[in-house]
Amino acid sequence: MQADYVIIGAGSAGSAMAYRLSENGQHSVLVLEAGGSDMGPFIQMPGALSYPMNMARYDWGYRSEPEPHLGGRRLATPRGKVVGGSSSINGMVYVRGHAMDFDHWAESGATGWSYADVLPYYKRLENWHSGDHGGDAEWRGKDGPLHVSRGTRKNPLFHAFVEAGQQAGFEVTPDYNGKKQEGFGPMEQTVWKGRRWSTANAYLKPALKQANCGLLRCFVRNIVLENGRATGVEIERRGQIETVTANREVIVAASSINSPKLLMLSGIGPAAHLAEHGIDVVADRPGVGQNLQDHLELYIQQACTKPITLYKYWNLFGKALVGAQWLFTKGGPGASNQFESAAFLRSKAGVKYPDIQYHFLPIAVRYDGQAAAEGHGFQAHVGPMRSNSRGEVTLRSPDPKDAPRILFNYMSQEEDWADFRHCIRLTREIFGQKAFDEYRGKEIQPGAGVQSDEELNDFIREHVESAYHPCGTCRMGRADDPMAVVDPQCRVIGVEGLRLADSSVFPRITNGNLNAPSIMVGEKASDHILGKPPLPVENVEPWINPDWQTSDR
């Protein structure tokens, strides 16, 4: 019940830290995780991704408060409650983020986290398998624990999407995780040999083979603080409340929802809010739980005139066939998340780097697994990347068992609406290109009748969904910044012996899916915790569209 380093959360950052902190064998590491095993086909089979996200067994099951700008809708906020955390229930899409995202972090006080600083950590974590399909080999890592691959892209619709983008005058890119993010091209996934390559598979299971690393299944109640120092963690298991002691440091990696909740329950957070709940204030950090950000997206769906989409498997027999093929060969449609083509675009002239993301999918289906009744179709998930809307995570009560209050405050800025209307019209322009002529049926969603700003706004209000990328609630910044929660070494400001490293620390949301940057944060934080010098910086210049000031393409 004691270790040098006690890590709260076996998720994307936590598993990476468990691996790195136990690697040299000198320190004992204990990982605390509320969830259970990730064995079983629903998690391990990439094509089954809509299942674990909707299973109470693997998900904390959080929902937002009624969102005031979305007609009071409460949006699902899944977070992984299983080894591997959200990397075990996510869509497995691998996106580093744009170089300029990290330069912005550094400019906003996260010194040492510019792209030149973080690129070596991306290389260290990656085992990249797409070199033979083109891509930027010198920007990528070849021997890290995290396998990154690409789908087979056998379906002609994946190529039609990229071709249509080109026909519309946009860039193409061989590797959006390399020098050039902007453009249409292949999408990358954390899948290896047909299996989901979560951080449990990549990092945690290898770490647990070491004698100095252990995993404890328990519910964490709060962090034990004595004289301004974190000395351990109060846990509950089998109905008993116990204490786990940290000889060196307590490390919080419980997600952008649960990490701020834990800090607040432990007396670290906005003093007035803690006092409301009768919690003694150890460190008044007004930024804890604030600065909540996420990506929203719409599914723009088009009927397909040829029976080539995944809808052909959308019946009991088809699903059994796909499942059996995957079980016995780790191949077939079940071996991919089916997000195999992507695009990162700029919304208008004067935007320096992409602020719109596309996932393309050769079926018309919702994330909860409800297929469009129309039958064969395809869809683009599209949304803006850098909304200025900000929300918060706050306590509902001082009871650790109570879910926190999550209010994203989605679509609270006028430009959010203009950005989304542009995304819809842009998608229609892409689907209207010659490349889709032989496949294009009617528009399923929003539907050809939905055209005016008002009609589009109504559609957005009713149908916009979270892309499940919450972050920013314990933002990293300068130690003298009153709204920063951790300093650039991931130390919680105002408390000794306590670090925090997960997507909570992002000063601003990055482009694309957040799993890769969350793992990178765990990798880099490990070096800070061990007192190692950071990896040598790599000054490389990302590709910026030479026409960015005058054109969107």
Using alpha carbons, list the distances in angstroms from residue 97 to 18, 32, 175, 542: 24, 29, 12, 12
Task: Tally Cβ neighbours within 10 Å of residue 229.
Answer: 15
70 band by pLDDT with thresholds 50, 70 and 90? very high
29: helix, coil or strand?
A: strand
Stated as kind and residue range, the H or E segment containing 405 is: strand 405-407
d(CA 283, CA 270): 8
d(CA 386, CA 294): 9
d(CA 268, CA 493): 10
* Positive or negative: CA dihedral 116, 122, 125, 129: negative
Confidence check: pLDDT of 374 > 80: no
331 is in an annotated binding site: no
> What are the pLDDT digits (tens) for 494-508?
999 999 999 999 999
Length of the chain: 553
**Quick one: pLDDT at residue 94?**
98
255 is in an annotated binding site: no
Percent of residues, the chain, with pLDDT higher than 90: 95
**Quick one: pLDDT at residue 214?**
98
**DSSP letters spanning 264-318:** HHTTEE-HHHHHHTTPPPSEE-TTTT-SBB--EEEEEEEEESSS-SGGGG-SHHH
DSSP for residue 533: P
Stated as kind and residue range, the H or E segment containing 223 is: strand 219-226
Q: Under a CB-based contact definition with an 8 Å cutoff, are residues 85 and 255 in contact?
A: yes
Instruction: Tell me the average pLDDT across 292-310.
Output: 97
353 is in an annotated binding site: no
Q: Under a CB-based contact definition with an 8 Å cutoff, are residues 477 and 484 in contact?
A: yes
Q: Under a CB-based contact definition with an 8 Å cutoff, are residues 214 and 208 in contact?
A: yes
Confidence check: pLDDT of 147 > 70: yes
Closest C-alpha to 510, from 524, 501, 495, 521: 521
**Quick one: pLDDT at residue 132?**
67
> What are the pLDDT digits (tens) for 346-357?
999 999 999 999
Mean pLDDT, all residues of the chain:
96
Confidence check: pLDDT of 370 > 70: no
DSSP for residue 173: -
Confidence check: pLDDT of 483 > 90: yes
480 band by pLDDT with thresholds 50, 70 and 90? very high
d(CA 117, CA 539): 8
Closest C-alpha to 301, from 385, 370, 384: 370
Task: Determine the straight-line distance between the first and last CA of the chain, rounded to whole angstroms.
Answer: 57
Q: Which residues have CB under 8 Å from 197's CB, separation 6+?
A: 92, 146, 147, 148, 190, 191
**Quick one: pLDDT at residue 366?**
74
**Quick one: pLDDT at residue 92?**
97
Closest C-alpha to 495, from 255, 254, 269: 269
**Quick one: pLDDT at residue 365?**
83
432 is in an annotated binding site: no
Helix, strand, coil: what percent of the chain each, to 5? Answer: 30, 25, 45
CA angle 353, 12, 232 (to 5 degrees): 125
d(CA 403, CA 393): 10
26 is in an annotated binding site: yes
Q: Which residues have CB under 8 Å from 291's CB, separation 6+?
A: 390, 392, 472, 473, 475, 483, 507
d(CA 407, CA 77): 10
Alpha helices in 108-254 (DSSP H): 115-125, 156-167, 199, 205-208
130 is in an annotated binding site: no
Alpha helices in 464-514 (DSSP H): none
Q: Under a CB-based contact definition with an 8 Å cutoff, are residues 421 and 298 in contact?
A: no
325 is in an annotated binding site: no
> What are the pLDDT digits (tens) for 110-141?
999 999 999 999 999 999 997 667 788 999 99
Confidence check: pLDDT of 369 > 80: no
**Quick one: pLDDT at residue 353?**
98
Using alpha carbons, list the distances in angstroms from residue 245 to 92, 223, 338: 34, 10, 44
HSE-up (13 A, CA, CB side) for residue 316:
0
d(CA 325, CA 336): 12
20 is in an annotated binding site: yes
Q: Which residues are catalytic?
A: 469
Q: Under a CB-based contact definition with an 8 Å cutoff, are residues 16 and 523 in contact?
A: yes
264 is in an annotated binding site: no
d(CA 476, CA 484): 5
90 is in an annotated binding site: yes
- Tell me: cis bond preceding 470? Omega within 30 of 0 counts: no
Q: What is the largest CA-CA distance in the chain?
A: 70
CA angle 30, 259, 13 (to 5 degrees): 55
d(CA 408, CA 413): 12
Can you read off the two tokens belonging to residue 457?
A: 């706004």
Q: Which domains are assigned to the chain?
A: 2-530 (3.50.50.60)
Confidence check: pLDDT of 245 > 80: yes
Confidence check: pLDDT of 373 > 90: no
Using only the alpha carbons of the chain, give its radius of gyration.
Answer: 23
**Quick one: pLDDT at residue 41?**
84
25 is in an annotated binding site: yes
d(CA 378, CA 180): 26
Strands (E), 34-176: 62-63, 76-77, 126-128, 146-150
220 is in an annotated binding site: yes
Report the DSSP pairing between strands 283-284 and 268-269. parallel
d(CA 506, CA 257): 13
**Quick one: pLDDT at residue 371?**
65
